[in-house]
């Protein structure tokens, strides 16, 4: 189902165009060989021996990645910047003689290397004693403000909804409605994901979108992602659709919300982000050095995320040296080169296009071979395409090559090699709308691509 009434905001448009982004899970877990720390870690364990954020950026660029998000603070509460609000940070570590700031070095490396920069700040803090009280929300806002005001432009702020007991035995009610205005105030262009009004979670950590993953989802009312009164509907929507089962903090729709927003039967622009790690774990573990995802696996993820109108957020965990491991770097380079090679030559650009009553035809003076179809709507005007079919002329009849449901920002289909001198693209759209196709491309992926 498409939702023609919905439109993305400028920040959502800019975020969608990134297509490929990266996570860097780095912290005390890197040195304790754990995925979730408990907040009792000694800051002295954090001591990367060859930290180089420029190496991270170069590896990301080779993969075609446009933005890098750093885990400034994970659930253990250890801060990768010298926060004025806790001693559980790099300032109590031996790294850089306690004078280091990972956030600053990564932010500066991103700017120098042409990448956008984002921050992850875990609301769950297993170290902070005020966690579980109203005072913790003030603490969290203070740390968020440090990150939003001290490191230049921030293009994405990433929250998850993990929630558990703190050292005081209490669970926290996160005051997201007070966090968002800080972001809008200090970094108005930053997209807020995935617990936020700009970007939603796809619903799994495999990097995979559904076949018909929409950019717009059913809400109710004309939502303004800058208006605090509208944020409640996003949380109600999460519970209503039960998309984010991991977010146990998310309340069900209250009677007041149901009365105000009804049954969520109108569209709201809320595109999905697909997160996945290049390794089995999110933090670095030496035991996983030989378990980096294969090129075919990463390409399959790419086609089932970016190729289904989502942004792919790929985690690359730095090792104990403070570097992306050689195996990860090699795979990123291989992945980026394969994607670039696949989409280097657009056969549609060499065709003679002809508008017909049945769609648009592309004709070549001699047959061409292709195995990828790329479609893009002009989503600034909404998402209205409800189906498409690509057909090839075989001398006496049109025969289907591939068909699909939604298009949205980008749709990429894979199929066996087809050779034809004429193809026809047919679109269907919501009643009363005219589809605006920004691009149609045909490509020949290399073997193994």
**What is the percent of the chain with per-residue pLDDT over 70, rounded to a whole number?**
87
Question: What angle do helix axes 102-113 and 53-63 make, rounded to 10 degrees?
Answer: 40
Q: Which residue intervals of the chain bear CATH 3.20.20.80?
A: 10-342
Residue with tokens 């004693």: 129
Q: Which pLDDT belongs to residue 233? A: 52
- pLDDT tens digits along 328-368: 999 999 999 999 999 999 999 999 999 998 889 999 999 99
Label residue 167 exposed, middle or buried (CB < 10 Å: 0-12, 13-18, 19+).
middle
Span(s) in the chain for CATH 2.60.120.260: 347-443
**What are 152-208's pLDDT values in tens digits?**
999 999 998 888 999 999 999 888 878 888 999 999 999 999 877 788 888 889 999
Which residues pair with residue 353 across a beta bridge? 362
C-beta separation of 167 from 127 below 8 A: yes
Model confidence at 220, pLDDT cuts 50, 70, 90, reads very low
Dist. CA 358–CA 390, nearest whole Å: 11
pLDDT in tens, 310-333: 999 999 999 999 999 999 999 999
Contact yes or no for 386/427 (Cβ under 8 A): no
Confidence band of 235 (pLDDT split at 50, 70, 90):
low
Whether 437 and 353 have beta carbons less than 8 Å apart is answered as no
Sign of CA dihedral 181, 125, 160, 319: positive
Query: 333 to each of 115, 340, 429, how far by Cα in Å?
Result: 16, 11, 39
What backbone phi and psi angles, to 5 degrees, belong to 13? -60, -45
Region for residue 439 given its phi and psi (left: phi exceeds 0; alpha: psi -120 to 50; beta: otherwise):
beta
**Which residues have CB under 8 Å from 138's CB, separation 6+?**
none
Bigger pLDDT: 421 vs 241: 421
The percentage of residues in the chain with a pLDDT greater than 90, rounded to a whole number, is: 74
CA 254 to CA 240: how far, in whole Å? Answer: 11
Whether 227 has a pLDDT exceeding 90, the answer reads no
From the candidate CATH numbers 3.30.470.20, 3.40.50.2300, 3.40.50.300, 2.60.120.260, the one assigned to the domain spanning 347-443? 2.60.120.260
Q: Which tokens go with 106?
A: 């990564």
Q: What is the pLDDT of residues 394-410, one digit of tens each?
A: 888 999 999 999 999 99
3.20.20.80, 1.10.3720.10, 3.90.1150.10, 3.40.50.2300: which CATH number matches 10-342? 3.20.20.80
């Amino acid at each position: 189902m498409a939702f023609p009434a919905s439109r993305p905001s400028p920040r959502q448009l800019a975020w969608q165009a990134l297509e490929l982004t990266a996570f860097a899970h780095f912290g005390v877990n890197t040195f304790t060989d754990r995925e979730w720390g408990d907040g009792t870690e000694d800051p002295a364990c954090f001591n990367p021996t060859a930290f180089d954020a420029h190496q991270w950026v170069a590896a990301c660029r080779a993969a075609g990645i446009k933005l890098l998000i750093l885990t400034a603070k994970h659930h253990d509460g250890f801060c990768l910047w010298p926060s004025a609000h806790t001693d559980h940070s790099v300032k109590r570590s031996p790294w850089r003689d306690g004078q280091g700031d990972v956030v600053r070095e990564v932010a500066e490396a991103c700017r120098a290397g042409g990448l956008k920069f984002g921050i992850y700040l875990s609301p769950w803090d297993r170290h902070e004693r005020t966690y579980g009280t109203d005072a913790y929300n003030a603490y969290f806002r203070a740390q968020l403000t440090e990150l939003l005001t001290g490191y230049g432009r921030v293009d994405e702020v990433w929250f998850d909804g993990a929630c558990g007991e703190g050292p005081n035995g209490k669970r926290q009610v996160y005051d997201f409605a007070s966090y968002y205005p800080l972001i809008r105030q200090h970094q108005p262009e930053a997209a807020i994901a995935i617990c936020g009004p700009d970007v939603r979670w796809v619903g799994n950590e495999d990097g995979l979108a559904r076949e018909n993953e929409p950019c717009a989802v059913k809400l109710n009312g004309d939502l303004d992602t800058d208006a605090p009164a509208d944020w409640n509907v996003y949380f109600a929507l999460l519970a209503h659709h039960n998309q984010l089962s991991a977010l146990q903090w998310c309340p069900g729709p209250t009677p007041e919300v149901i009365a105000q927003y009804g049954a969520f039967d109108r569209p709201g622009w809320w595109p999905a982000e697909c997160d996945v790690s290049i390794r089995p774990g999110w933090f670095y573990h030496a035991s996983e050095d030989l378990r980096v995802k294969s090129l075919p696996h990463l390409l399959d993820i790419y086609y089932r995320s970016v190729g289904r109108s989502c942004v792919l957020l790929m985690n690359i965990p730095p090792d104990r040296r403070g570097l992306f491991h050689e195996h990860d770097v090699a795979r990123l380079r291989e992945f980026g080169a394969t994607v670039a090679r696949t989409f280097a030559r657009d056969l549609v650009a060499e065709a003679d296009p002809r508008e017909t009553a049945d769609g648009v035809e592309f004709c070549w003076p001699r047959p061409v071979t292709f195995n990828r179809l790329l479609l893009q709507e002009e989503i600034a005007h909404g998402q209205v395409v409800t189906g498409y079919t690509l057909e090839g002329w075989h001398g006496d009849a049109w025969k289907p090559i591939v068909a699909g449901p939604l298009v949205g920002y980008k749709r990429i289909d894979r199929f066996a090699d087809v050779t034809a001198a004429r193809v026809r693209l047919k679109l269907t759209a919501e009643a009363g709308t005219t589809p605006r196709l920004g691009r149609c491309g045909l490509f020949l992926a290399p073997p193994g691509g």
